[in-house]
């Protein structure tokens, strides 16, 4: 006699974003942690100083910027704040977003062996680099605190907003990471365009200068359409005090949520066929 056909379960992504998708992603949160730990181990494998590179890179960048833009270029910043502290306070959230986006872009291609054989929420791949970048961020933050103590910079009440500014940076990185990971899975040109775009982004973002001093008041709202302006100025304000950049922070928050929602929707659409593309 013919054996009855065994029931077959087909796992396929749905359309749009639902509460079930978020619940599934939460159930697989351990994968995000495992991927992040693996990224950190691979990144510093066979290095002499290991995770110290998370400090050395932004620290050396700060030194170079101080020599070029403060000692030689005399770039103005807010009075009373040492230029090294000013620059380092912006470099940390910038490095967090830059590293997250760069790694997220390559995440689906890097995980193609798993994606083509094992089922898990594909969004885990571009989100894990954000967690590994947060680990580097935490190490560098200790150096920033020591730098502030060295120069005698005392935080104000705005320090309570620092976690919110870090969250804004994470939302920004997650949105762009989802977009670029999906696009890079389809078009490999993205991997070459992203590093160049990030270099340009650093130049047009307020890393080495003060937005309030350099940008004319009538153009500051237009300049704030750069999503990193609110992130950098907001994090800098949370540590160093001063006038809160409310307008640029709100604009960055709206842009971050918009990019995150549209990025998640596009990622879900690409997810249906990404295993055949990577």
Percent of the chain with pLDDT over 90: 43
- Is the pLDDT score of 161 beyond 50? yes
- Is the pLDDT score of 119 beyond 80? no
Task: Point out the least confidently predicted range of 44-53, 174-183, 252-261.
Answer: 44-53
DSSP state of 117: T
Name which of 111, 175, 101 is nearest 133 in CA terms.
101
- Is the pLDDT score of 225 beyond 70? yes
DSSP state of 277: H
Average pLDDT, the chain: 84
Please give, one letter per residue, the 3-state secondary structure of 142-197: HHHHHHHHHHCCCCCHHHHHHHHHHHHHHHHHHHHHHHHHHHHHHCCCHHHHHHHH
Name which of 32, 168, 169 is nearest 107 in CA terms.
32
Residue 6 has what pLDDT? 60
CA distance 99 to 97: 6
Residue 81 has what pLDDT? 83
Q: Which residues of 177-187 are buried (b: 16+ CB within 10 A; e: fewer)?
A: bbbbbbbbbee
CA distance 187 to 231: 29
Which band of pLDDT confidence, cut at 50, 70 and 90, is reported for residue 3?
low
Question: Which residues does 228 contact at the CB level (< 8 Å), separation at least 6?
Answer: 94, 97, 172, 201, 205, 252
Residue 1 has what pLDDT? 47
Mean pLDDT of 154-177: 94
CA distance 141 to 96: 11
- Is the pLDDT score of 163 beyond 70? yes
Mean pLDDT of 197-216: 88
CA distance 170 to 158: 19
Question: Which residues does 195 contact at the CB level (< 8 Å), separation at least 6?
Answer: 102
Q: Where are the beta strands (DSSP E) in the chain?
A: none
Residue 199 has what pLDDT? 92
Mean pLDDT of 186-206: 91
- Is the pLDDT score of 63 beyond 70? yes
186: tokens are 């389809």
Model pTM score = 0.86
Q: Which of 63-67, 204-208, 252-256 is the most confident on average?
A: 252-256
- Contact at 8 Å (CB) between 250 and 119? no
73: tokens are 């270029």
Which band of pLDDT confidence, cut at 50, 70 and 90, is reported for residue 276?
low
Task: Point out the least confidently predicted range of 60-64, 90-94, 96-100, 235-239.
Answer: 60-64
């Amino acid at each position: 006699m013919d054996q009855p056909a065994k029931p077959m379960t087909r796992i396929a992504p749905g359309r749009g974003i639902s509460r079930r998708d978020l619940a599934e992603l939460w159930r697989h949160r351990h994968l995000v942690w495992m991927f992040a730990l693996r990224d950190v181990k691979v990144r510093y494998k066979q290095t002499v100083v290991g995770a110290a590179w998370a400090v050395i890179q932004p620290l050396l960048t700060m030194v170079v910027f101080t020599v070029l833009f403060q000692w030689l270029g005399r770039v103005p910043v807010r009075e009373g704040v040492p230029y090294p502290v000013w620059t380092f306070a912006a470099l940390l959230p910038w490095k967090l977003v830059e590293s997250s986006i760069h790694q997220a872009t390559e995440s689906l291609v890097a995980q193609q062996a798993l994606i083509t054989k094992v089922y898990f929420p594909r969004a885990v791949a571009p989100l894990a680099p954000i967690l590994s970048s947060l680990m580097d961020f935490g190490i560098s933050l200790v150096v920033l605190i020591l730098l502030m103590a060295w120069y005698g910079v005392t935080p104000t009440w705005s320090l309570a907003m620092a976690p919110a500014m870090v969250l804004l940076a994470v939302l920004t990185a997650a949105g762009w990471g989802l977009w670029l990971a999906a696009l890079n899975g389809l078009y490999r040109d993205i991997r070459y365009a992203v590093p160049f775009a990030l270099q340009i982004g650093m130049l047009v973002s307020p890393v080495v200068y003060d937005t309030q001093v350099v940008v004319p008041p009538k153009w500051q709202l237009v300049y704030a359409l750069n999503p990193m302006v609110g992130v950098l100025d907001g994090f800098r304000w949370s540590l160093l005090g001063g006038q809160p950049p409310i307008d640029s922070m709100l604009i960055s928050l709206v842009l971050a949520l918009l990019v995150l929602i549209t990025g998640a929707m596009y990622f879900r659409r690409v997810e249906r066929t990404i295993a055949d593309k990577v």
